[in-house]
Structure 1
Amino acid sequence: MTDVEENVPLKDPGDAESGPCKPETSGPTRQYMSSPKNHPFSLIDTVNDVSKLSKEIGMNHDFHMEEKVLPPSSLEGRVKETMHNAFWDHLEEQLLATPPDFSCALELLKEIKEILLSLLLPRQNRLRSEIEEGLDMNLLRQEAEHGALNVPRLSKYILNMMTLLCAPIRDEAVQKLENITDPVRLLRGIFQVLGLMKMDMVNYTIQSLQPQLQEHSIQCERAKFQELLNKQPSLNHTTKWLTRAAADLSTPPPSCPDSPDSSSVVCPSPSEAANSPEPLNPKMVLSQGFLNLLLWDPEDEEFPETLLMDRAQLQELGAQLRQLTILASVLLVASSFSGSVLFGSPQLVDKLKRITKALMEELKSRPEEEAMLTVSEQVSQEIHQSLQNMGLAALSSDNTASLIGELQNITKKENCVHSVIGQRIHLFLKCCLVLGVQRSLLDLPGGLTLIEAELAELGQKFVNLTHHNQQVFGPFYMEILKTLIPPAQALETEVGSL
């Protein structure tokens, strides 16, 4: 989901000219595909100017737009609400005047007509003709001049048309409007629902264009990167990155240190699939390379040239990975002290997750030890209170001290729980690249089930980014990988799958 600031709809609704009687009708939308002639791509800071929105839509199959909702307490929200109320109050005064003044009503009807037309598909010519005839602005102006403009009748006609055009999810909202008898309240409700219908059309169009946007983004990004290579023919950092990934795969993984539940953990089948001892192949090396990027040192300037544009996003995913590692570690330690009965309560788990997530934000501005002390004290307090509420025996003073101590040390690299959870999340992400997110969620390693939703979100973002970059830079990667992997492994057959 993305909020944008430009009020440019995807389809051309024929916007009415702005005027004093025209309120805002919907939240922000934006033109998603622009003509390359109007918006040429240029090489600035290693292809950072490639359309990020086009790329995001192409990468994310679930991408959709939502109206930007201003907080009622914000200054902008209060100003907008005041202006809207003033407009509708003014419209009511005009309609109640003797004789009635229909100037604002006409502007309103004109914009409603344009919105309805914008919701039509190209093949819906009959409905287009009906709307043009039913809301003929020349005829409506003549009726208004003679004081004969029938606003209730027109509102009913608009509602009937909205019923035909709205998505099923909006049926209930349109039906509720039919019970409103006050003409001003009805028109205001019509505008609100039309705003939602416009956003539905935007998202429908985005989904329709998604394959074209994906291909457009891939071709443009690859072409512009080739321009960069023509000027600076060097992929030294990318080569080092892939070389390190190949070396990592050739080295046996370290054994997991002991943890509170390590003796009871059974490796799931996805994990076995991801770790199967197969000969090196391009997919394996690239997957390992992208996993290494999530743990990349921010101070290391030897970042792969092919991924400079996505460095900020990869760092963000790395930060999410670290937060989830801490969160799962906190929950695992807490459950080992409080017992399965207490942790069988979804309410307690959700509360501990909210507390830990909120306090982890302070890790960005406070010393880590200080922030984790606050986390350990808050979690210990919640467990104590929950045990008391359920009539269970409270933790002894020794157990309480041990709980706080273990929670406080979770962020340290040598901490066994932190190490085990980190390896398991790393393994889960590797499974996502091999088997997909949904299959990898079917059999999560021990200690990760309590953060399943968060892992699914992280895994999907990581898979989308990895897959997109493999499609864009596959030919460049293959040239490097040919020097790292023996030719006998039929590298050429892998090119199409990158």
Structure 2
Amino acid sequence: MGSTEEITKLRSVKKKLDSNSDESDSKPNSKNVSGATSPDPLEHGIDDDLKPLAEGEAKSNQSDTDSETEGACKPRDKSPTGGIDVQGARARVNSESSSENGNSSSSEHSKRQRTVSGSSPVHNFIFPGVAASPPKFMSLEEVMKAAKGVSNMVLAHEIAVDKNFKLEKFDPPDNSVEKQVRDIMHKAFWDQLADQLSQDPQCYDQALVLLQEVRENLLDITLPHHTRLRQEITDTLDVELIKQQTEHGILDFGQYSQYVLSIMARLCAPIRDETIRNMMKERDVVGVFRGVMETLDLMRLDMANFTIQQIRPHIIAQSVTYEKKKFAEFLKTQNDGLELTREWLINHIKPEDLSVSDDNAMRGVVNSVITRSYLELLSWPDDKLMPETVVLDGSRILELRDCLSQVCILGSMILVTLSSVGPMITQPDAFKPKLKRNLCIILDPAVTDKETMALMENLAEQIVKEVDDHFTENEKPPLPASAKTALKSQVLEIKNPDHRIRTLIMKRSMEFIGILMSSTTARPVQIPPGLSTLQEELAHICGTLLRLVTHNRSVFGEYYADIVSNHIKEQRENAESEKKIEFEQAESSTVVATESDK
């Protein structure tokens, strides 16, 4: 039975839009980047070259570096013993080796990432597969404007719901045409520069182009209050002056490379210091500038991520209003931009819901329908299109679905083991956590159900080993070979989705999550029988789902309420019309019969 204090924490998640999860966010310790001011990204967006979300480049995984612009990596807080702490965890299972548990750094949670498809969130949102086209007379400019608004909305949404969100450098896949073309172009550029500098007299055509680009990149990574530094860079890397030096044969290209490195050393994050020191020792001018360009790209990315961290509280505060606005603009470009959402919600309206009459009862029915609809997402099939209003969180929802499936499989294996050899277990309270922890180590690499099923043989073997070890530690005779075979066979039967115990645990888990989602009071919520060992895992799933649901409902709740209430009213009116027609037909038949008797 969870305490009142713990359940009060749960309520706060449902009432606030991710504000609790932000209190623990660390702020970057950047050199020469304090006091940065940034334009409102909700209205102006981020520069096209820093918006990889539209190209499938944005990732929420934490970098394995500890750059000061990225914030310090902190271990995820554990749930208190015996309680439910559901405030925004991303964990699947908790084991000593799992990257998703409270014992590991949150920087490793990237291996749990998955995507709905190979396309970007913007593509999934604008083109979710609905056979609807823009209305007639919609100009291309209006459509592109709406698409850009959705792109910015996706970026704002990702920053708001994922405190670990960061931009990362996009690298084309190995052996891809894009990577081959890029490598060839880069090699051609640097080969031409080296060839020109080796001529006698030297040719600086390519060098001037390079210096111009370096100057622009240096200005990009300066902050608005760096007025003197910006002026110094502009004056020193004056292309016209450098061109005159080349004409008079007095250009020292190596001197400019050292100046650029000195400026970069003043502006870069500490994580880049060693790279710049190594470049200062380099004597090949071409190699130095090649490293300069690569490092400047990383520094621009560092600055973008630092800016995102700084403005994130503002984005969170404005994200709901902003997403509402951009989604309304998106709907104007569609014949029916809520087709899948409407079908999703209507499928959860029960026949008894159609009998409501007063407004209070209608609100209760609407809330119940929406809650049941959200719960369906935890069993959503891969091949089914998601509703338009939840597609931005599609990868997170599918990740939660897989987490819940694995938790139920884990719980099923523990129950099957205890039901088989439980009477012979001397200390079940100590045996169960140890068994769960060691099974989680094996389950940790698995992401999908298919990968989990592939590990079932290993899990069954581990269970038999744990039982044997327990008997050995407690000086009991080993388990007979026939009992081991029977135990392993029972565990492997859990692979069947219709397995009785697995189905029961899934049902109880869904009911428990549904109670937490629909509850509006701080009363204690009892852990369902058989799930006490999985309390922490369920808490993490509930916490993540509640954060997503709270944000999603704040943005799209009005659409949901209108869809459900309008459908109920329409069905009720149709039923009343049918009754009226039947009554009139009955009256007409009675009159005809009376006249016939006369």
Tell me which interval the TM-score lies in, with the shorter structure as reference length. Answer: 0.5 to 0.7
CA apart distance, 1:399: 2.5
Larger RCO, structures 1/2 (Cα 8 Å, 6+ apart): 2
Q: Which residue of 2 aligns with 1:210?
A: 315
The amino acid of 2:456's aligned partner reads: S
The amino acid of 2:152's aligned partner reads: S
| Aligned equivalent of 1:380, options 443, 453, 460 | 460
CA apart distance, 1:189: 1.7
Looking at structure 2, the residues matched to 409 and 226 of structure 1 have their Cα atoms a distance apart, in angstroms, of: 48
| Aligned equivalent of 2:552, options 468, 478, 485 | 468
CA apart distance, 1:143: 1.9
| Aligned equivalent of 2:258, options 151, 156, 164 | 156
Alignment of structure 1 residues 115-264 onto 2, 5 Å: 115-206=217-308, 208=311, 210=315, 215-222=321-328, 225=331, 240=346, 243-244=349-350
Q: Which residue of 1 aligns with 2:210?
A: 108
CA apart distance, 1:142: 1.8
Any idea what the Cα deviations from partners look like across 1:374-401, whole Å, max 9, x if unmatched? 4422433566789999998788453244
Deviates more, 1:142-151 or 1:284-293: 284-293
Corresponding position: 1:290 with 2:290: no
Corresponding position: 1:55 with 2:153: yes
Any idea what the Cα deviations from partners look like across 1:233-261, whole Å, max 9, x if unmatched? 9x9757746744996xx9xxxxxxxxxxx
Q: CA, structure 1 residues 230+460, in 2 after alignment: closer, same or farther (shift >3 Å)?
A: closer
Corresponding position: 1:350 with 2:441: yes
Looking at structure 2, the residues matched to 69 and 156 of structure 1 have their Cα atoms a distance apart, in angstroms, of: 28
Counterpart contact for 2:143–2:333, Cα < 8 Å: no
CA apart distance, 1:429: 7.7
Counterpart contact for 1:155–1:187, Cα < 8 Å: yes
The amino acid of 1:161's aligned partner reads: I
Counterpart contact for 1:246–1:280, Cα < 8 Å: no
Looking at structure 2, the residues matched to 101 and 387 of structure 1 have their Cα atoms a distance apart, in angstroms, of: 77
- The structure with the largest alpha-carbon Rg is 2
Q: CA, structure 1 residues 165+76, in 2 after alignment: closer, same or farther (shift >3 Å)?
A: same
Q: Which residue of 2 aligns with 1:270?
A: none
CA apart distance, 1:194: 0.8
Any idea what the Cα deviations from partners look like across 1:202-247, whole Å, max 9, x if unmatched? 33455537355653331131355489799999x9757746744996
CA apart distance, 1:94: 3.2
- Provide the TM-score with structure 2 as the length reference: 0.52
Q: Which residue of 2 aligns with 1:407?
A: 492
Any idea what the Cα deviations from partners look like across 1:295-354, whole Å, max 9, x if unmatched? 468999xx9xxx8423656776664444223322443455565955864866x7334332
Q: CA, structure 1 residues 204+91, in 2 after alignment: closer, same or farther (shift >3 Å)?
A: same
Q: Which residue of 2 aligns with 1:92?
A: 194
Counterpart contact for 2:242–2:251, Cα < 8 Å: yes
CA apart distance, 1:133: 0.5
Partner-residue secondary structure (3-state), 1:40: helix
The amino acid of 1:195's aligned partner reads: D
Q: Unaligned regions of 5+ residues in structure 2, if any?
A: 1-45, 52-121, 123-138, 357-362, 419-430, 569-598
Partner-residue secondary structure (3-state), 2:49: coil
The amino acid of 1:467's aligned partner reads: H
Looking at structure 1, the residues matched to 505 and 176 of structure 2 have their Cα atoms a distance apart, in angstroms, of: 44
Looking at structure 2, the residues matched to 309 and 106 of structure 1 have their Cα atoms a distance apart, in angstroms, of: 50
Q: CA, structure 1 residues 476+404, in 2 after alignment: closer, same or farther (shift >3 Å)?
A: closer
Q: Which residue of 2 aligns with 1:22?
A: none
Any idea what the Cα deviations from partners look like across 1:458-478, whole Å, max 9, x if unmatched? 954773365234324427627
CA apart distance, 1:433: 8.6
Looking at structure 1, the residues matched to 277 and 219 of structure 2 have their Cα atoms a distance apart, in angstroms, of: 21
Q: Which residue of 2 aligns with 1:417?
A: 502
Q: CA, structure 1 residues 419+83, in 2 after alignment: closer, same or farther (shift >3 Å)?
A: farther
CA apart distance, 1:88: 2.9
Any idea what the Cα deviations from partners look like across 1:467-490, whole Å, max 9, x if unmatched? 234324427627956999xxxxxx
Alignment of structure 1 residues 439-478 onto 2, 5 Å: 446-448=532-534, 455=540, 460=544, 463-464=547-548, 466-474=550-558, 477=561
Counterpart contact for 1:163–1:171, Cα < 8 Å: yes
Counterpart contact for 1:242–1:285, Cα < 8 Å: yes
Number of aligned residue pairs: give it.
397
The amino acid of 2:443's aligned partner reads: L
Any idea what the Cα deviations from partners look like across 1:156-192, whole Å, max 9, x if unmatched? 2212222333345444444443343432222222111
CA apart distance, 1:106: 1.9
Looking at structure 1, the residues matched to 294 and 223 of structure 2 have their Cα atoms a distance apart, in angstroms, of: 21
Corresponding position: 1:324 with 2:442: no
CA apart distance, 1:138: 0.7
Q: CA, structure 1 residues 281+170, in 2 after alignment: closer, same or farther (shift >3 Å)?
A: farther
Q: CA, structure 1 residues 221+73, in 2 after alignment: closer, same or farther (shift >3 Å)?
A: closer
Q: CA, structure 1 residues 176+333, in 2 after alignment: closer, same or farther (shift >3 Å)?
A: farther
Q: CA, structure 1 residues 408+195, in 2 after alignment: closer, same or farther (shift >3 Å)?
A: farther
Q: Unaligned regions of 5+ residues in structure 1, if any?
A: 1-5, 12-30, 32-36, 251-278, 363-370, 485-498
Looking at structure 2, the residues matched to 324 and 333 of structure 1 have their Cα atoms a distance apart, in angstroms, of: 14
CA apart distance, 1:114: 0.8
Partner-residue secondary structure (3-state), 1:133: helix
Counterpart contact for 2:433–2:533, Cα < 8 Å: no
